Amino acid sequence: MNFAPLQNDTFLRACRRLATPYTPVWLMRQAGRYLPEYRATRARAGSFMGLATNVDYATEVTLQPIDRYALDAAILFSDILTVPDAMGLGLSFALGEGPRFATPVRDEAAVRALRMPDLEKLRYVFDAVTSIRKALAGRVPLIGFSGSPWTLACYMVEGAGSDDYRLVKTMMYSRPDLMHRILEINADSVAAYLNAQIDAGAQAVMIFDSWGGVLADGAFQEFSLAYTARVLRQLKREHGGDSIPRIVFTKGGGLWLGEMNGLDCEVLGLDWTVNLGRARAAVGGQKALQGNLDPNVLFAQPQQIVAQASKVLHSFGAPHTGAGHGPTHIFNLGHGISQHTPPEHVQVLVETVHEQSRSMRSPPSA
């Protein structure tokens, strides 16, 4: 495949811990329900999975926020549960509810029957990656993604979202052998899935460990972190001569930043509970950091959005401006953007990050 040359490399440079003229910004779930144009496409598609599995629709909604805002990266529009769906668990989205699996994995027989999915069943994702990459025409890089092995396991065992993770934790504590088996399969599946996204054109990949933070100390290392590491060990480092940065985001994982710093990845994503300055010190310059504005800030007025975004930029501290590697920051929210966000507030945020981070690199006194 021959794609157009990249015009904005600030995101990829920041992933590689190289200086950039400003702090790049993108938003988790930036293609989503808060945008009226997304809701229009969604209505035409009929259902969420109708949207996610159609290459043209997926391309269209991925580009919508890029057309509207000066974002520095695009992220594939898809769902974190495509992999267990391809394993045959039967994913569906009831209106107004979260995802649900028709056949959750709750007993030994179900675990024994579990297999890595045929990647052909995920062809629609890889086709979407290539289509989006072409449609982007080099404007910004494209991020591919997957749920983490643990996060997929949560949904696979619970069968849906949960507020106490009782079923998955009961299996973990009472039958750790079964849980490890699920996680091995998940890890190898996620690695194959992300490698195929890279082959299809993804220029960076992100692992969403959305539910790692619900685990106890000790259990996190054994049942989440170890399998994220297993994914990372199998990922392609480069494609067509370009290195492919790898981002790991564990929501609620701030206490384990020391251990996560040992992961073989370039970027760690952080939620809003983490102080970026402390995190920067904790990773000792070995990882780029991505985050971490509370998405609820976007419900406040522009003046307050500016103040809070500025606070996040300054909590990270002085930008790296020299040659070679240094501490870098990729601005993002600490979690996905809310469907209730006023779209014009995102404009304020993106402009603020760009302007303020530029001025932090060339202070008036210079």
Q: How far is the CA of 329 from the CAs of 10, 112, 214, in angstroms?
A: 11, 43, 26
Does residue 252 interact with a second copy by CB under 8 A? yes
Write the burial class of residue 290 (CB in 10 Å: 0-12 exposed, 13-18 middle, 19+ buried). buried
Does residue 296 interact with a second copy by CB under 8 A? yes
Whether the Cβ atoms of residue 214 and residue 168 lie closer than 8 Å to each other: no
- By beta-carbon proximity to a second copy, the closer residue of 251 and 354 is 251
Stretch of 2-10, 49-57, 196-204, 292-300 lying at the interface with a second copy (CB under 8 A) = 292-300
Choosing from 112, 166, 233, 237, the residue that interacts with a second copy (CB under 8 A) is 166
Bridge partners (DSSP) listed for residue 143: 75, 204
The one catalytic residue in 79, 85, 209, 271 is: 79
355: number of Cβ within 10 Å: 14
Q: How far is the CA of 44 from the CAs of 51, 54, 75, 119, in angstroms?
A: 9, 11, 21, 27
Does residue 159 interact with a second copy by CB under 8 A? no
- By beta-carbon proximity to a second copy, the closer residue of 126 and 155 is 155
Distance CA 174, CA 177 (A): 9
- By beta-carbon proximity to a second copy, the closer residue of 149 and 334 is 334
Joined together, the tokens standing for residue 236 give 């392609």
Segment (H or E) for 151: helix 149-158
Whether the Cβ atoms of residue 191 and residue 154 lie closer than 8 Å to each other: no
Write the burial class of residue 27 (CB in 10 Å: 0-12 exposed, 13-18 middle, 19+ buried). buried
Site track for a second copy across 172-191, x = CB under 8 A: -xx-----------------
Distance CA 246, CA 266 (A): 5
Choosing from 219, 225, 263, 346, the residue that interacts with a second copy (CB under 8 A) is 219
Segment (H or E) for 241: none
Bridge partners (DSSP) listed for residue 247: 206, 267
Does residue 334 interact with a second copy by CB under 8 A? yes
- Catalytic annotation on 29? yes
Stretch of 16-24, 107-115, 164-172, 342-350 lying at the interface with a second copy (CB under 8 A) = 164-172
Choosing from 7, 237, 311, 318, the residue that interacts with a second copy (CB under 8 A) is 311
- By beta-carbon proximity to a second copy, the closer residue of 127 and 294 is 294
Does residue 160 interact with a second copy by CB under 8 A? no
Whether the Cβ atoms of residue 341 and residue 299 lie closer than 8 Å to each other: yes
Whether the Cβ atoms of residue 96 and residue 24 lie closer than 8 Å to each other: no
CB of 181 to a second copy, least distance (A): 17
- Contacts for 221 with CB less than 8 Å, ≥ 6 apart: 256, 259
The one catalytic residue in 42, 100, 246, 280 is: 42
The one catalytic residue in 16, 33, 123, 181 is: 33
The one catalytic residue in 29, 100, 133, 280 is: 29
Does residue 338 interact with a second copy by CB under 8 A? yes
CB of 342 to a second copy, least distance (A): 11
Choosing from 96, 218, 241, 364, the residue that interacts with a second copy (CB under 8 A) is 218
- Contacts for 321 with CB less than 8 Å, ≥ 6 apart: 19, 361
- By beta-carbon proximity to a second copy, the closer residue of 261 and 338 is 338
- Catalytic annotation on 177? no
- Catalytic annotation on 358? no
- By beta-carbon proximity to a second copy, the closer residue of 80 and 255 is 255
Does residue 51 interact with a second copy by CB under 8 A? no
Stretch of 184-192, 194-202, 214-222, 235-243 lying at the interface with a second copy (CB under 8 A) = 214-222
- Catalytic annotation on 155? yes
Contacts to a second copy by CB under 8 A: 164-166, 169-170, 173-174, 213, 215-220, 252, 254-255, 272-275, 292-297, 299-301, 304, 308, 311, 315, 334, 338, 340
Residues designated catalytic: 29, 33, 42, 79, 155
